[in-house]
Structure 1
Amino acid sequence: MNWLLVIAGAVVGAPLRYLTDRTVQSRHASGFPWGTFSVNVFGCLVLGTLSGASATPHVQLLLGTGLCGALTTYSTFSYETLRLTEDGAGLLALANIGGSVFAGLGAAWLGHALGQAF
């Protein structure tokens, strides 16, 4: 049963990641990976909310492991940061690292607070 919940969440998370990334990135002409940044920060917000709300194990599997697992991406973040560095955009690479950590932790904290409020 648990693995079905993870699969169900991933079935939604993977296309949501792709569509969000493409939509967000198409609206920005800069070399900064706004699409990946957006899905990762949103995933942190969702996980923080689940944590703060003390979600049931089934909801955690569906939304936390399945949806957020397929939605967020550390590997693409790493790859895009490396590419920025290789392309001579070291400042953008540093902004991606610092911004992702700061915004991700902030979103998780905010989500946790929102989850506790509900």
Structure 2
Amino acid sequence: MTVNLASRMDSTGVSGRIQVPEGTSKILADRGFKREFRGDIFVKGVSEKQGGVRTYFISSREHRSSYAERLTSRSGQYGRNTLSGVVFSLVQARKKEELREANGGFHLLEVS
């Protein structure tokens, strides 16, 4: 369902804009990104069960509060304060949660 929803966000989006579902928009807004309500859209495979998916457009951060925060956001593609960094962190957290669920609630470490 996650991959389907991400694909639909892309295919029903607007060129040059980043469209995300409401839950993701709240997480990004908490991290200082601006969000603009887009509306409810039909998402095949999701809307049949849950109705329209409420979506938002995400744009740049409202402001950088400190020198360290500004420096971190420029330091790399996956800095914690960039949109890509936040999304990457969400994906990593989701993978850890799925691994934990698959292992009966325990997080197993890989040993090399």
Counting strand residues as a fraction of each chain, which structure ranks higher? 2
Q: Same fold (TM over 0.5)?
A: no
Counting helix residues as a fraction of each chain, which structure ranks higher? 1
